Amino acid sequence: MSITQLLKKIIPFIQPYKKIIVFTFILTLLGSFAAQVNAFILRYTVDSISDLMVEKKALKDGFALLLFISMILFSKEMLNALIQFGQKFYGEKLRIFISRDLSQAIIEKILTYRLAFYNSTENDSGKLQTRIDLGISSLTRLIQNFFIDILPLFTNAIVALSVMFYANFYVGLVGLIMIPFYFWVSNLQAKKLSGFRRNMRTYRESKSSRIINLIESITVIKSFVNEKVEADKHAQIQFDMTENQMQTRKVSFVFDSVKSFIEQFGVIMIIVLTAYFVLNGQISLGAIMFHIMLFSNVSAPIKQLHRIYDEVNDALIYSEGFFDIIESKHEVEISGNYKPEKITGLFELKNVNFRYPNGHQALKNINFTIKPNEITALVGLSGAGKSTIINLLDKFYEPQSGHIFLDGIDLKEYDTHFLRSKIGLVLQKNHIFKGTIHENIAYGLENATKEQVVEAAKKAYIHNQIMELSLGYESDAHLLSGGQQQRIAIARLFLKNPPIIFLDEPTANLDAIATEQIKKSIDAIKKDRTVIIVSHSISQIIDASNIIVLKQGECIENGTHEELYKNKAEYYSIFSAMANSLNIEKIMTTFD
């Protein structure tokens, strides 16, 4: 990304604060003029004192001079304090506001993205977070530095340089000649550093995703006594990062010395040149200090030039990732605008082929129908493509070829938000949000009444257990066990009351009692709805009106339990394995 591209991209974020920017700029300009006062006063003082000394005037006349210059310097400092306060305050305000806008903009944007965006390895949570954080902080730092540090310094330098030319053309010329050298060296420095900076970004991203991964895997790491191995892996990244940082510093220090040399060379030139003109009688003695002070006003911002390069480079590197995220149009979920009054819930899949973004072909030429008012079970070994079907029916992904129809209309035509509002989804491991049990059941239906929430909890067989907690429905939802959290998700489903329900191994994590209770809930909920269940539970499968058997992404059987069992094919072997694993003979002898 070039600087102009970067500017174009940040302008929309700066635009709302035009007034603050203009005001800050006026303050900056005033500050730049005020900054030159010291040089003028110093020249006036030196010249006046040397006149007094030549004329051998009494100390009394000197006091009047001191009083006069003190008054001027004091007033100027008062004005300066006000200007600086305004500049810093409004500059900071700009930074805080823009940082807030950037964070809000990116969050709002990524919430609209397809699931594929979140599943890509490029965007695992650690990397995504680092990219967002670094993008925002580098952009806000750039804006802050520009308005608070750089702009005042540069305005100051331009004013000081003009005054130098006005005071003496040759002195001005020395000041001017220095600038391209500085730019050249700073540019060289920035170029040398950019590779290191880019590496740093990669290290930071992988470091934070590793740390997140480490924390998530801590139980497994400890149970395998693998702390040392993990620590060593981390040490390697730390080592590479340190090496990179040291190289960055080394290059920076070398260039800093070169720039310092150029600046001091300028100071010497100014002293020699001015002394020549003073001795020549062309200008007064006070001009020596005058010129040196003006030159320091010119060189001060130039000394900071590498910082601008650094900031701009940081912003170019880090904001690239940030803007990639915020601008990736192809990630936005595609939506039609079809919103029927009523959904019956008849799904038809015709020649559906689907490949995940990583290229894995998860479904091959799938054809089947899912009827309303009955339960359809998706059966197959792990990895067969059952959850993938649910992902497609929920429009989390779109098939590469073939069609999915709902009530005769292609799913593509449906308004995605509308469609999802008509689907209830219960997963194997359901998500519990930070907050109370009430908030978790009412998630997505924030204005549900207490009675409705309690009613839903009762249907999901969780009400009594909630009431046993000291705070009841106001308890922290994370206090609940896995099985209880699952029933919270089912309560959510009862409250949402959708015409279509997808249950992806809903009882996989539940104990036997809870499973039995949930079975009752599911029986109650299936009436007048389309229910699709992915399950490894025999009782749930044989209860289904229709069973679809998947194998390696293909639909190989379709029918009722009895039909498929008679077929003696894939379903027969899965069912037999399930039944055998239950050790039915032993169970039977127990019952006898």
Q: Which residues bind ligand ADP (CB under 6 A)?
A: 119, 356, 358, 360, 362, 380, 382-388
3-state secondary structure 442-483: CCCCCCCCHHHHHHHHHHCCCHHHHHHCCCHHHCEHHHCCHH
CB of 397 to ligand ADP, least distance (A): 9
User: What length is written for the chain?
Assistant: 592
Q: Coil, strand, or helix at residue 510?
A: coil
DSSP codes joined into one string, 132-168: HHHHHHHHHHHHHIIIIIIHHHHHHHHHHHHHHHHH-
| Bridge partners, 533 (sequence order) | 377, 503
State the nearest-atom distance from the C-beta of 428 to ligand ADP, in Å: 9
Cβ atoms within 10 Å of 494's Cβ, excluding its own: 21
Closest contact distance (angstroms) between CB of 386 and ligand ADP is 4
CB of 378 to ligand ADP, least distance (A): 8
Q: How far is the CB of 354 from ligand ADP (least distance, A)?
A: 9
Alpha-carbon distance of 571 to 564, in angstroms, equals 6
Distance CA 494, CA 424 (A): 9
CA–CA distance, 492 with 505 (Å, rounded to integer): 16
Nearer CB in complex with ligand ADP: 100/360: 360
Our CB check for ligand ADP shows the closer of 293 and 375 to be 375
What is the closest distance, in whole angstroms, from the C-beta atom of residue 355 to ligand ADP in the complex? 9
Cβ closest to ligand ADP, residue 151 vs residue 366: 366
Q: What is the CA radius of gyration of the chain?
A: 36
DSSP state of 549: E
**Spatial contact of 41 and 73, defined as CB atoms under 8 Å apart:** yes
d(CA 125, CA 112): 16
Please say whether the beta carbons of 333 and 112 come within 8 A: yes
* Residue 376 DSSP one-character state: E
Nearest approach in angstroms of CB 124 to ligand ADP is 12
If the CB atoms of residues 76 and 355 are measured against ligand ADP, the closer one turns out to be 355
On the 0-12 / 13-18 / 19+ scale of CB atoms within 10 A, 335 is middle
Nearest to residue 127, comparing CAs of 196, 212, 216?
Answer: 212
CB of 536 to ligand ADP, least distance (A): 10
Which of residues 134 and 393 has its CB atom nearest to ligand ADP in the complex? 393
Q: How far is CA 556 from the centre of its chain?
A: 43
Q: Least CB distance from residue 478 to ligand ADP, whole Å?
A: 26
Q: 297 vs 535, which CB is nearer to ligand ADP?
A: 535
Is residue 117 within 8 A of residue 328, CB to CB? The reply is: yes
Kindly state the smallest distance separating residue 557's Cβ from ligand ADP, in Å.
15
- Nearest approach in angstroms of CB 384 to ligand ADP is 4
Task: Give dist(CA 291, CA 276) in Å, integer.
Answer: 13
What SS3 state is found at 323? helix
The distance of closest approach from Cβ of residue 349 to ligand ADP in the complex, given in angstroms and rounded to an integer, is 14
Nearer of residues 385 and 399 to ligand ADP, judged by Cβ = 385
For ligand ADP, which is the closer residue by CB, 271 or 556? 556
Find the shortest distance in angstroms from Cβ 331 to ligand ADP.
Answer: 15
Nearest to 556 by CA among 387, 365, 395, 382: 365
Nearer to ligand ADP by C-beta: 89 or 356? 356
Q: DSSP for 178-241?
A: HHHHHHHHHHHHHHHHHHHHHHHHHHHHHHHHHHHHHHHTHHHHHHTT-HHHHHHHHHHHHHHH
Q: Which of residues 209 and 440 has its CB atom nearest to ligand ADP in the complex?
A: 209
CA distances from 292 to 149, 163, 190, 194, 295 (A): 22, 12, 28, 34, 5
Given the complex with ligand ADP, which of 475 and 509 has the nearer CB atom?
509
Phi, psi of 16 (to 5 degrees): -65, -15
CA distance 373 to 386: 20
Q: Which amino acid is present at 134?
A: L
Q: How far is the CB of 345 from ligand ADP (least distance, A)?
A: 21
Handedness of CA 300, 301, 305, 311 (dihedral sign): positive
- Interatomic CA distance for residues 65 and 67, integer angstroms: 5
Closer Cβ to ligand ADP, 358 or 447, answer by number: 358
Identity of the residue, 233 or 360, whose beta carbon is nearer to ligand ADP in the bound complex = 360
Nearer to ligand ADP, 95 or 386 (CB): 386
Kindly tell me which of 186 and 388 has the beta carbon lying closer to ligand ADP. Answer: 388
Give the shortest CB-562-to-ligand ADP separation in angstroms: 24
